[in-house]
């Protein structure tokens, strides 16, 4: 049988696609890149905002229109939080909630009586990366979160923390390395909480073990809560295989808003963390999330946030207008911010963030760095490659030779790319 896998939302959803793909392939089924070619279509949904849920619904409708004959399977946060609603959508044949998604391949095969083949029917170690691109792989190290930030619906959808063993993670990384993967991203709902449910384990010890027991060239982190990092964490980055970039979500630059959000990091503590990172690695790139228009956000609090973003100098800011989610504490808070005010503040912050990003990129000009080239395209009759620096700046290059750069790491000197605001040029 042919299976098509698709995800919306976070990197964790992407990592789960990789696990599902391997489960189907080991059972003798194939993974295809196009939904119209599939016998089974599986969507891993998102519900982090109201718009994410709406996108999930729209994509489900489109997948059904593209291939009404295929079995349509839905999992992820939207499918978990609104299971009855999802089950009633035209074309949906099976809903697998987050609590059961680790067994999704088995549940799909049982539900549709798909034929099973012995594991020797597939090449040893073969998995979906050869279908979906093998330069970077997302590694799910844990699921769930023990904290309850007042705005977050994901912790409701994902449940309690569950960490994979260090040995299983190392084994997966070594398998991916043998297949030519150059970079892995450690991902989860609460990455910094990794190991809280294990004995003598933590994110720090996991990273040390990965550096010792694998040869993967590049290691990154998905989003990590800033309060989870121990004092000596940035010393790990003395190993050049650990990429000098972290996404540390602050969510607001006003401590009073952070308290209403039940965040466990003050702005002064976050600023100190940034100083530690940049002291360890001068070109360390910090990116973040900001929620605009959280209930009760005053003009003064908003100005604090804008000034904080300007002061820190982020390489990139993900900006979200607050979206009330039923089932979260924030949905019942007083003094909601008007939509027009949220829109105006969002536009203002986008301008500030863009200026900050341009300043950050300008600081990279003249550096010679190794870039992992991911893909190519034609532009005005010329071949263009796109890749990323260790500190996660996007780079384009026009190669001066005919060799294939895809999935290769090569040194380049950086300059500003004219006409492309958030891209560097590699010479």
* 129 domain residue, yes or no: no
Percent of the chain with pLDDT over 70: 94
pLDDT band at residue 208 using 50, 70 and 90 as cut-offs: very high
- Both 355 and 254 in one domain: the answer is yes
The pTM for the full model equals: 0.86
In this structure, are 291 and 219 located in the same domain? no
In this prediction, residue 389 carries a pLDDT of 96
pLDDT at 332 over 60: yes
Same domain for 252 and 357: yes
Flag whether 58 is in a domain: yes
Q: How far apart are CA 308 and CA 271, in angstroms?
A: 9
For position 344, which CATH number holds?
3.30.750.200
Specify the pLDDT at position 196.
Answer: 93
Q: Can you say how many angstroms the Cα of residue 340 is from the centroid of all Cα atoms in its chain?
A: 29
Do 276 and 341 lie in one domain? The reply is: yes
Q: Looking at the structure, do residues 158 and 222 belong to the same domain, yes or no?
A: yes
Over range 240-247, report the average pLDDT.
96
359 confidence band (pLDDT: 50, 70, 90): very high
Which among 193, 226, 243 is the end of a domain? 243
Instruction: State the residue range of the domain holding 372.
Output: 368-426
Residue 388 has pLDDT above 70, yes or no: yes
Do residues 311 and 335 share a domain?
A: yes
* Residue 290 pLDDT: 97
Who has greater pLDDT, 251 or 135?
Answer: 251
- b (16+ CB within 10 A) / e for 26-43: bbbbbbbeebeebbbbbb
Q: How many domains, in total, are found in the chain?
A: 4
- Answer yes or no: is 71 within a domain: yes
Half-sphere exposure of 61 (CA within 13 A, CB side): 6
DSSP classification of residue 332: G
- Residue 419: exposure state from Cβ atoms within 10 A (0-12, 13-18, ≥19): exposed
Q: How sure is the predictor about 420, in pLDDT bands with cuts at 50, 70 and 90?
A: low
Tell me: do 236 and 261 sit in the same domain: no
Phi, psi of 37, rounded to the nearest 5 degrees: -90, -5
pLDDT > 70? residue 150 = yes
Least confident of 121-135, 295-309, 386-400: 121-135
126 domain residue, yes or no: no
Examine the fold and report which residue of 121, 143, 166 is the final residue of a domain before the chain moves on. 121
Closest-CA residue to 216 (of 235, 195, 239, 194): 239
Examine the domain organization and report whether 386 and 400 are in the same domain.
yes
Pick left, alpha or beta for residue 349 (phi over 0 → left; psi -120 to 50 → alpha; otherwise beta).
alpha
pLDDT at position 418 is: 66
pLDDT of 104 above 90:
yes
183 and 282 together in one domain: no
pLDDT value at position 159?
87
pLDDT band at 157 (very low <50, low <70, confident <90, very high): confident
Please indicate, yes or no, if residue 328 is contained in any of the structural domains: yes
pLDDT band for position 128 (cuts 50, 70, 90): very low
User: Do 9 and 116 belong to one domain?
Assistant: yes
pLDDT band at 126 (very low <50, low <70, confident <90, very high): very low
Residue 119 has pLDDT above 70, yes or no: no
CA atoms of 131 and 262, how far apart (whole Å):
41
Residue 389 within any structural domain of the chain: yes
Question: Across the chain, what does the average pLDDT equal?
Answer: 90
413: domain CATH number?
A: 2.40.50
Instruction: Return the higher-pLDDT residue of 298 and 19.
Output: 298
Is residue 128 situated within a structural domain? no
Tally of helices (H runs) and strands (E runs) in the chain: 13, 18
- Examine the domain organization and report whether 108 and 148 are in the same domain: no
Q: Which of these three, 220, 243, 266, is where a domain ends? A: 243
Q: Tell me: pLDDT of 88 over 60.
A: yes
Residue-wise pLDDT for 16-59, tens only, equals 998 899 889 888 898 998 999 999 999 999 988 888 899 999 99
Residue 105 shares a structural domain with residue 195: no
Give the CATH number, domain containing residue 182: 3.30.750.210
pLDDT of residue 133: 57
Whether residue 41 lies inside any domain: the answer is yes
Residue 427: pLDDT band by 50, 70, 90 thresholds? confident
């Amino acid at each position: 049988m042919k299976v098509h896998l698709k995800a919306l939302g976070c990197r964790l959803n992407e990592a789960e696609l990789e696990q599902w793909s391997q489960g189907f392939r080991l059972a003798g089924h194939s993974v295809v890149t196009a939904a119209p070619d599939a016998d089974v279509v599986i969507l891993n949904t998102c519900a982090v905002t109201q718009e994410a849920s709406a996108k999930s619904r729209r994509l489900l409708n489109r997948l059904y229109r593209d291939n009404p004959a295929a079995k349509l399977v839905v999992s992820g946060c939207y499918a978990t939080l609104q299971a009855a609603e999802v089950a009633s959508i035209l074309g949906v044949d099976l809903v697998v909630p987050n609590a059961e998604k680790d067994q999704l391949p088995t549940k799909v095969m049982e539900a549709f009586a798909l034929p099973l083949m012995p594991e020797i029917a597939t090449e040893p170690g073969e998995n979906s990366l050869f279908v979906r691109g093998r330069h970077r792989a997302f590694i799910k190290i844990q699921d769930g979160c023990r904290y309850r930030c007042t705005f977050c619906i994901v912790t409701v959808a994902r449940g309690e923390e569950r960490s994979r063993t260090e040995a299983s993670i190392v084994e997966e990384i070594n398998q991916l390395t043998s297949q030519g993967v150059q970079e892995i991203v450690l991902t989860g709902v609460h990455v910094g909480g990794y190991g809280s449910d294990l004995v003598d384990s933590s994110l720090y010890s996991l990273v040390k073990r990965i550096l010792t027991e694998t040869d993967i060239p590049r290691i990154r982190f998905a989003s990590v809560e800033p309060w989870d990092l121990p004092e000596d964490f940035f010393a790990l980055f003395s190993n050049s295989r650990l990429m000098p970039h972290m996404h540390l979500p602050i969510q607001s630059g006003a401590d009073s808003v952070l308290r209403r959000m039940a965040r466990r990091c003050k702005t002064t503590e976050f600023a100190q963390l940034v100083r530690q990172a940049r002291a360890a690695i001068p070109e360390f790139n910090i990116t973040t999330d900001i929620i605009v228009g959280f209930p009760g956000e005053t003009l003064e609090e908003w100005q604090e946030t804008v000034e904080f973003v300007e002061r820190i100098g982020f390489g990139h800011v993900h900006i979200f207008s607050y979206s009330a989610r039923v089932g979260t504490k924030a949905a019942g808070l007083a003094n909601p911010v008007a939509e027009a005010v949220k829109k105006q503040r969002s536009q203002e912050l986008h301008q500030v963030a863009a200026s900050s990003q341009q300043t950050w990129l300008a600081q990279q000009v003249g550096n010679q760095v190794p870039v992992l080239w991911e893909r190519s395209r034609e532009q005005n009759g010329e071949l263009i490659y796109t890749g990323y620096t260790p500190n996660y700046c996007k780079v384009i290059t026009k190669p001066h030779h005919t060799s294939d750069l895809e999935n290769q790491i090569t040194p380049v000197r950086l300059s500003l790319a004219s006409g492309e605001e958030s891209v560097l040029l590699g010479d």
